[in-house]
């Protein structure tokens, strides 16, 4: 995936954290160990849990492709990379959970996890997750979280940082239905890039209490049979930059609001919400709203170049803010709305009349990438010329 990776900055405060993320900075990549710890049939370790106990700071654990049943683990190293080798690795909970929390529990250091599918975790607390991330920094890359009670769940450590890249979160369901596909607690930063989140049920696709949240170029869609509550929620506000996302609310959604900010009360800190070049599709109608910003705080609100489809109340219903060029189009403007293909149907369906997005905290808001399905990113050849998340014409 093409990306710009300048050297990481010093540990940021809340304001600087969003500025650094908006500049395209990734969490640090970890140095590879000279001799990876190999896991799989006939390898030194046949179970991931054994490799987890043996690994030292800075090690790399490579897991052969295949299914691993009930192979749950806790990782506490200061630096560790875990990656699939030779194909995808399916981690099937099979009735087990580390510390009665998740298939994997991660706490302590800088982790990179790449190429794993986390499936089927159930626990007594009804919060069984694919990953429970508790402390440190985590990059989850090219992973899938499917059929657990919660997808990926964090703690409330105010120093923790989570980045999800090209991951899929779907069909994670608690018995009472109040699940979330991706739930970030009161951590320092959350960054979500090129991910596909879909088919929630009552819970949200993304719920973030992070002080700083960056949601860039993702597909957040209920799709057929999906019954998510909010598609994207920041319950305690914070600083949130939301750029280049496809966000769709199905007829059967549990809540009429696509994007919610501050619904559970604001923390005494800076409050800012930036919505730029998103495509928002409401299929519910009635009393639907594209955006709700709860009263109770002074919120810096900017909504620019968003493409709206459906009968939901306009963005301006959220309250005072800067609103520029957020046109509404019919479903026929898209290549195939019934199949959730929201590329412009042709060159006239979505005119190339985007306005200048300006800057936020010193960094340009104009997107440099767009989402590619499934769960990917593609660089733009030039400036984003059309409102909405996708610039590529379907039938050019």
Burial (CB < 10 A; 0-12, 13-18, 19+), residue 208, is buried
pTM for the full predicted model: 0.92
User: What's the pLDDT score for residue 369?
Assistant: 98
- For the CA atoms of 325, 352, 311, 225, the dihedral, rounded to the nearest 10 degrees, stands at -120
* Residue 396 pLDDT: 59
CA distances from 173 to 111, 218, 372 (A): 26, 21, 26
pLDDT of residue 386: 98
Pure H helices in the chain: 14-22, 48-54
Phi/psi-derived region of residue 186, left when phi > 0, alpha when psi is between -120 and 50, beta in every other case: beta
- For residue 264, the model assigns a pLDDT of 98
* Cβ pair 61, 76 in contact under 8 A: no
Q: What is the pLDDT, as a whole number, of residue 5?
A: 41
How many C-beta atoms lie closer than 10 Å to residue 322's C-beta? 11
Q: How far apart are CA 252 and CA 154, in angstroms?
A: 28
Euclidean distance between CA atoms 138 and 79, whole angstroms:
10
Distance CA 102, CA 72 (A): 8
Query: What backbone phi and psi angles, to 5 degrees, belong to 196?
Result: -120, 115
Cα–Cα distance, 392 to 396 (Å, whole number): 8
In a 3-state reduction of DSSP, which class is residue 123?
Answer: coil
What pLDDT score was predicted for residue 23?
43
Q: Which residues pair with 301 in a beta bridge?
A: 273
In whole angstroms, what separates CA 69 from the centre of its chain? 27
The reply to whether CATH 2.40.30.30 applies to domain 14-303 is no
* CA within 13 Å, CB half, 71: 23
Burial class (CB in 10 A: 0-12, 13-18, 19+), 386: buried
- What secondary structure letter does DSSP report for 54? H
Low-confidence ranges of the chain (pLDDT < 70): 1-34, 177, 396
The span from the CA of 34 to the CA of 40, in Å, is 19
- The DSSP letter of residue 89 is E
pLDDT of residue 178: 74
The label of the residue with tokens 């170049």 reads 305
Contacts of 105 (CB under 8 A, 6+ apart): 73, 74, 75, 98, 99, 131, 132, 134
H-helix segments, 124-180? none
Work out whether the CA dihedral 134, 169, 58, 191 comes out positive or negative.
negative
For the chain, the domains span 14-303
């Amino acid at each position: 995936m093409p990306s710009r990776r300048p050297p990481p900055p010093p540990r940021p405060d809340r304001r600087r954290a969003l500025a650094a993320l908006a500049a395209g900075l990734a969490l640090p990549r970890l140095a590879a160990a000279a001799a990876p710890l190999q896991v799989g049939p006939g390898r030194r370790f046949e179970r991931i849990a054994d490799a987890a106990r043996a690994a030292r700071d800075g090690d790399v654990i490579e897991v052969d492709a295949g299914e691993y049943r009930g192979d749950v683990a806790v990782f506490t190293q200061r630096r560790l990379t875990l990656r699939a080798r030779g194909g995808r690795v399916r981690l099937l909970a099979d009735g087990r959970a580390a510390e009665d929390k998740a298939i994997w529990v991660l706490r302590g250091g800088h982790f990179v996890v790449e190429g794993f599918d986390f499936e089927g975790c159930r626990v007594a607390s009804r919060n069984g997750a694919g990953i429970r991330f508790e402390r440190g920094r985590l990059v989850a890359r090219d992973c899938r979280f499917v059929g657990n009670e919660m997808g990926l769940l964090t703690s409330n450590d105010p120093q923790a940082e989570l980045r999800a890249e090209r991951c899929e979160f779907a069909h994670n369901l608690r018995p009472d239905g109040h699940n979330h596909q991706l739930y970030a607690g009161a951590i320092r930063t959350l960054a979500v890039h090129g991910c596909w989140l879909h088919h929630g049920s009552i819970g949200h696709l993304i719920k973030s209490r992070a002080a700083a949240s960056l949601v860039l170029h993702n597909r957040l869609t209920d799709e057929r049979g999906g019954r998510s509550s909010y598609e994207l929620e920041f319950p305690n506000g914070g600083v949130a930059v939301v750029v280049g996302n496809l966000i769709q609310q199905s007829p059967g959604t549990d809540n009429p609001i696509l994007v919610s900010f501050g619904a559970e009360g604001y923390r005494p800190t800076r409050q800012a919400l930036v919505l730029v070049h998103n495509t928002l599709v409401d299929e519910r109608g009635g009393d639907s709203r594209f955006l709700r910003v709860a009263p109770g705080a002074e919120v810096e609100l900017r909504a620019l170049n968003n493409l709206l489809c459906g009968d939901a109340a306009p963005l301006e219903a959220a309250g005072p803010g800067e609103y520029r060029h957020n046109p509404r189009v019919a479903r026929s403007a898209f290549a195939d709305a019934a199949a959730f293909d929201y590329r412009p149907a042709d060159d006239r369906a979505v005119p190339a009349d985007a306005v200048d997005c300006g800057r936020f905290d010193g960094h340009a808001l104009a997107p440099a990438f767009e989402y590619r399905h499934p769960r990917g990113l593609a660089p733009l050849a030039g400036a984003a010329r059309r409102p909405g998340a996708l610039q590529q014409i379907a039938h050019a």
